[in-house]
Amino acid sequence: MRLVHRTTRSVALTQAGEMLLASAAPAIAEVNAAFDRVRDLRDVPSGRLRINAPPPAVDLVLAPMVGPFLAAFPQIELEIVAESSFVDIVGSAFDAGVRYGEHLAQDMIAVSLSGTQRYAVVASPDYVERHGRPKHPKDLLDHTCIRTRFGSGAMLDWEFEKAGRVVKVSPPAKLIATYLGLARAAVLDGVGLWMTFEGYVRDAIDSGALASVLEDWCAPFPGRCCIIRVGVSRRLRSPRSWPSSASGASVSARRSGRGSAFPHFHRHTLSAPALASL
């Protein structure tokens, strides 16, 4: 069937050609619009971003970033899942994860989010009055303590450092909690001593609701909380600014054969009013 009339000077549609064009025009317009939308993704961060992180990292690192981030990048749909268990980021279909430095694979590139972190050992003033202050980490073996069990079932030793000397203890637990909110409520009620990230209890220490002990054994350490980049599409583009956080953290990007999709992540300290244009 002939669709066009062709001469040496012109080309014109036949009746069949005009019918075909009229029928196909909406589909062609939709295809063109789809290409336009895809091209727009190169310039506007958009799409779903799934992040997996342990609860302390969510509370102390990510939470302060969420509001500024979503305000700066309204076309991104952000999903943050808090889990204490170590999760296979790729296998669980996450785009990124927050991890501590000890768990980073060799093909990760670390980038600092903020400054140092610090642990604190705290108790209620009433508990300290009744039981006294421990002077050395080993004194904790004679105290009542509140400890945390992770989703994996592990209950980590309490680690201290002073003048280059590291001491680990496994104190007796009056209460074992997987929920940090419960542990915080218990220490405020005088149940025992609790070791946690200082960010969880700094306000209570400042107000006098909790007393800090063994401060000279709770040395600051480099922020090890890391975001692991796992091949997010380039529609989630490289961040040029992240907000400051009370807890030190670093971001790491996984290398791929085509190079990192976060070309600005290498060894930069990032602090600004928005999370990132991932």
Residue 220 has a pLDDT of 87
Nearest partner of 186 among 198, 173, 172, 203, judged by Cα:
173
DSSP string across 218-273:
---B---EEEEE----TTSPPPS-----SS-EEEEEE--TT--S-TT-TT----SS
**The model's pTM:** 0.65
Fold assignment, 47-116+222-254? D-Maltodextrin-Binding Protein; domain 2 (3.40.190)
Strands 173-177 and 249-254: unpaired
Give domain 119-217's CATH architecture.
3-Layer(aba) Sandwich (3.40)
Q: What is the DSSP letter of 161?
A: E
Could you read off the pLDDT of 154-195 as tens digits, one per residue?
889 999 999 989 999 999 999 999 888 999 999 999 999 999
Distance of CA 259 to the CA centre of its chain: 22
Domain residue limits, the chain: 4-40, 47-116+222-254, 119-217
Residue 67 has a pLDDT of 92
Are the folds of 47-116+222-254 and 119-217 the same? yes
Least confident of 26-30, 43-47, 100-104, 238-242: 238-242
